[in-house]
Amino acid sequence: MYAVTGADGQLGRCLRERLLGDTSAIFVDICGLDITDESAVKKFFKTYKIDTVINCAAYTAVDAAEDDAMNADAVNNYGAGLLAKYGRRIIHVSTDYVFDGFADMPYGEDEAPSPLSVYGITKLAGEVSVLRNAETAAVIRTSWLYSEHGNNFVKTMQRLGAEKPQISVVSDQVGTPTYAGDLADAILKVAAAMPDGTREIYNYSNMGSCSWYGFACMIMEMLKLDCFVKPIESKDYPQKAPRPHYSVLDKSKIISQYDVAVPYWSDSLLKCITRKKHR
């Protein structure tokens, strides 16, 4: 039996779609389970015979977290640790923001983390809590997540591209857009095969890399929107939380151990946009 926390978010909804025929799967969000409430988490695992919990719950408001560190830590660290403590097996979703972005080669799982923001700090702490408390765990770091669901960069660009003749997008932050549907497929493949008693970190994002500017240009092209995208530097678009300037992830470990599919980022973007049109 799978239990998916954070089930109303982008990744959670993609997992719902893929587990639609699994009548034993349980999907909960904050209204169904507050993962920061230890008594509620303990009761949840006593009530349901859960084989694997997939933790998609997260405090993801990167800039807001700078002034709300306590709540960010409660969800990203403490709550994740509780799920690992009371659950038998856990897959926990983490982020490329655990790195500082000063590298010029894709980050492997063994690279020393050095987060720049409260969000990154709390997500790194959550990784540590999960690996310390779990009997069996896979921490999966991902990046630049988008989908047909919820709010994300692709939807923002679609809206702005339809409203404005020109927009400005940062061109000096490089990473990899990741389609949540692809990540959901990878998670389920890992969940079905991860050996009992192992506690590992994996990277999963789509293949290739681009800047936010390049990502925006591709979105406009695929959607056939007549909107000029102007490249700007990060200093010209100040944000409360610093972002890594380079956060491409090396996926070789998860590919070799689980033989997961890792599509190229622009192929998955087209797939997402096509599906969104037909919904």
Active centre residues (catalytic): 119
Tell me how far CA of residue 25 lies from CA of 15, 90, 244, 252, in angstroms.
Answer: 10, 14, 36, 30
Report the relative pairing of strands 136-142 and 89-95 from DSSP bridges: parallel
- Give the C-alpha separation, 58 to 78, whole Å: 11
**Tokens 């890399």 label which residue?**
209
- Give the C-alpha separation, 174 to 247, whole Å: 6
Rg from Cα positions in the chain: 18
- Give the C-alpha separation, 36 to 75, whole Å: 6
Which residues are CB-contacts of 202 (< 8 A; sequence separation ≥ 6)?
Answer: 109, 138, 139, 140, 141, 190, 253, 254, 257
Compute how many other C-beta atoms are within 10 angstroms of the C-beta atom of residue 101: 22
Residue 74 Cα to chain centre, angstroms: 18
- Give the C-alpha separation, 244 to 117, whole Å: 9
Secondary element (H or E) of residue 45: helix 38-47
